[in-house]
Structure 1
Amino acid sequence: MPGARGSLIFETAHQMNFLTPFANAWHYRELIRAVVRRELAVRFRGTIFGWVWAIFGPLVMLTAYTVIFSHAVGVPASAKGGSFGSYALSIFTGLIVFNLFSELAYRSPGLLHEHAGVIKKSIFPSETLAWTAAIRGAVYAVISLGVLLVFELVLTFRLPPASLLLPLVVVPFFLFLLGICWFLMALGSFTRDVAHLMISIVPVFMFATPIFYSIEDVPPNLRIYLHLNPIGNYVEMMRDLLLFNRFPDLFLYGGTVAASLLIFFFSYRFFMQYKAVFVDVI
């Protein structure tokens, strides 16, 4: 019953504040931890090398980029990372960010359908599915990030001190991804067309994100449009910290973080507002 389900939520939609999503996640922290642990265990079940594959994939990819692009002709100078990196590291940094986003964009519309049996038969906090999906994806992204840092250390013999400030970019990016998950989960519960839409537009969206190029390589009159893409902004900010040893432009950082927090809270509120309806439509 909607009343019973609502009793598990700390505040109703009109009473929510910014801390409500965190308080709710903390309340269900054991459930989130158990689901994440199970999903991570299932990923490599039945394999001989297990978690070695999580490292091997990014390692092979970055090795290939290094071999192919380290002496490439016509590579934009701004994308090479100056004295702190190479074009391969620049591409890989962008792919870590974009692949995490694309994984969640593909999976989120079907999350409620994927767990429909549990949601329909019990009082299950469906909003926690966004946390488990985002944490699961973040684990593999962190592994890729570790491979990136090792390669950078091998290629440049140092890690930029600015990389210590990485949490200032990673945390709002994670909250942004959570917001995307909640929003797509809500829309995907009403129609499976959302999943097909993501499959169609995410690959195209990749070319509007500065992965194989830098925003500095784009004509100045077009840069403002690229900055409307939060994923691209996070790619550039990650490169600033990891490759260029500089803190991102404060205006860009502040605007991107503010937009991320807005998306995070709006999407959570949107999801919780229609949460009772999902049981009937999935």
Structure 2
Amino acid sequence: MPSVNVVNGKQIVVEQLALGERFTRFLVRPFLQMWYHHDLIQAILRREVRDRFKGSAAGWIWAVIAPLLAIAVYTFAFRTTMKLPVTDISGGPQVAYALFIFSGIVIFNFFSEMAFRAPMLLHEYAHFIKQTIFPSDMLAVISTLRATAYAAISVGVMLLFQILVTGGLPWTVVFIPLVFLPLMAFLVGMAWFLCAVGAFTRDAGYLMISVVPLFMFATPVFYPHDMLSAPFDLIIYANALTAYVEITRDIALLGRMPNPLVCAWALFTASFTFYFGYWFYDRYRNVIVDVL
């Protein structure tokens, strides 16, 4: 009997080590894949960024003009005597509210671009996926990086406008890249999930087109979350974008460090969505090729 117990004990330890090893491999596998295919990612990303404004005389200037026009329209629209919910940003209540809205729209547009494109992303590259040994899971990464480039331009325009009207920036803007890293992970995971679902049914794309515009009003883009009465001021955090919008406003506009609990929630949603999306896509990876 003692020998049996020892054998069983050793077997349990071995199984636990094997389980831990598989879990560790799962955690690092997406990043190893990104590194292994980094040349391909760079090549396709360059082509996608170049083709975005292909045939346009102004080219990349449009990526700057669009956010400039948005801020100008918001500032003009709110130069009225209406009561504005945000006045603690320098530059006057109208300018403050314009920046307030724009900061939320930057985050929401980043999300919406991925939500609209991801369900049909594999269909765009169906020829490569079917005819070659193509790492289809990297398409979500490439698409997110492309969207990040335009979101970064919008953030740059927002900060430039803020300098012009307020005379400076808070020191906390140095943390903006730390906001984008988990947000990118969140969007990559979402894209993996939507890519897999979209490969099986095009209804996923139509659903995003119908739902995402309405989703804007469930995100505190036009209002601060603390204007909501309890318990809705907490329920709104079920929308993961709420945390990113709030953190961005804190560090870019208000010059204060964000709530640690909000940061922790943003990191949790980013990690969970990233790995769940990868697990879901990897589970159906071999079937996707057949259904495209």
TM-score of the superposed pair, with normalisation by structure 1: 0.91
Matched, 1:54 2:63: yes
Q: Distance in 1 between matches of 2:135 and 2:79?
A: 48
Choose the corresponding residue for 1:89, options 76, 99, 102.
99
**Unpaired segments ≥5 residues, structure 2:** 1-21
Which structure ranks higher in relative contact order (CA pairs < 8 Å, sequence separation ≥ 6)? Answer: 1
Matched, 1:129 2:139: yes
For 2:122, give the aligned amino acid: L
Choose the corresponding residue for 1:185, options 185, 195, 204.
195
What secondary structure is seen at the aligned counterpart in 2 of 1:83? coil
Distance change in 2, residues 1:192/1:253 (3 Å) = same
Choose the corresponding residue for 2:33, options 20, 24, 32.
24
What are the residue-to-residue correspondences of 1:263-278 with 2, within 5 Å? 263-278=273-288
8 A contact 1:93–1:238 mirrored in 2 = yes
For 1:278, give the aligned amino acid: I
8 A contact 2:170–2:254 mirrored in 1 = yes
For 1:61, give the aligned amino acid: A
Q: Distance in 1 between matches of 2:125 and 2:161?
A: 39
What secondary structure is seen at the aligned counterpart in 1 of 2:226? helix
Q: Distance in 1 between matches of 2:24 and 2:243?
A: 32
Q: Distance in 2 between matches of 1:260 and 1:14?
A: 18
What are the residue-to-residue correspondences of 1:191-202 with 2, within 5 Å? 191-202=201-212
Q: Distance in 1 between matches of 2:188 and 2:145?
A: 9
Distance change in 2, residues 1:277/1:34 (3 Å) = same
Q: Distance in 2 between matches of 1:246 and 1:204?
A: 30
Q: Post-superposition shift, 1:70?
A: 4.1
What secondary structure is seen at the aligned counterpart in 2 of 1:150? helix
Q: Distance in 1 between matches of 2:129 and 2:88?
A: 47
- Partner residue in 1 for 2:245: 235
Q: Distance in 2 between matches of 1:158 and 1:36?
A: 34
Q: Distance in 2 between matches of 1:122 and 1:24?
A: 17
8 A contact 1:82–1:244 mirrored in 2 = yes
- Partner residue in 2 for 1:144: 154
* CA displacement, residues 166-219 of structure 1 (integer Å, 9 cap, x when unaligned): 122111111000000000001111111111111111111110000011101111
Q: Which has the larger radius of gyration?
A: 2
* CA displacement, residues 121-158 of structure 1 (integer Å, 9 cap, x when unaligned): 01100001001110111111111111000000011101
Q: What is the number of equivalent residue pairs in this alignment? A: 269
Matched, 1:155 2:165: yes
Q: Distance in 2 between matches of 1:249 and 1:90?
A: 18
8 A contact 2:227–2:233 mirrored in 1 = no
**Unpaired segments ≥5 residues, structure 1:** 1-12
Q: Post-superposition shift, 1:71?
A: 4.0
8 A contact 1:179–1:263 mirrored in 2 = yes
Q: Post-superposition shift, 1:83?
A: 2.7
* CA displacement, residues 18-55 of structure 1 (integer Å, 9 cap, x when unaligned): 22111111111111111111011111111212111111
User: Which consecutive segments of 4 or more residues in structure 1 shift more than 6 A?
Assistant: none
Over the aligned positions, Cα root-mean-square deviation in angstroms equals 1.6
- Partner residue in 2 for 1:245: 255
TM-score of the superposed pair, with normalisation by structure 2: 0.88
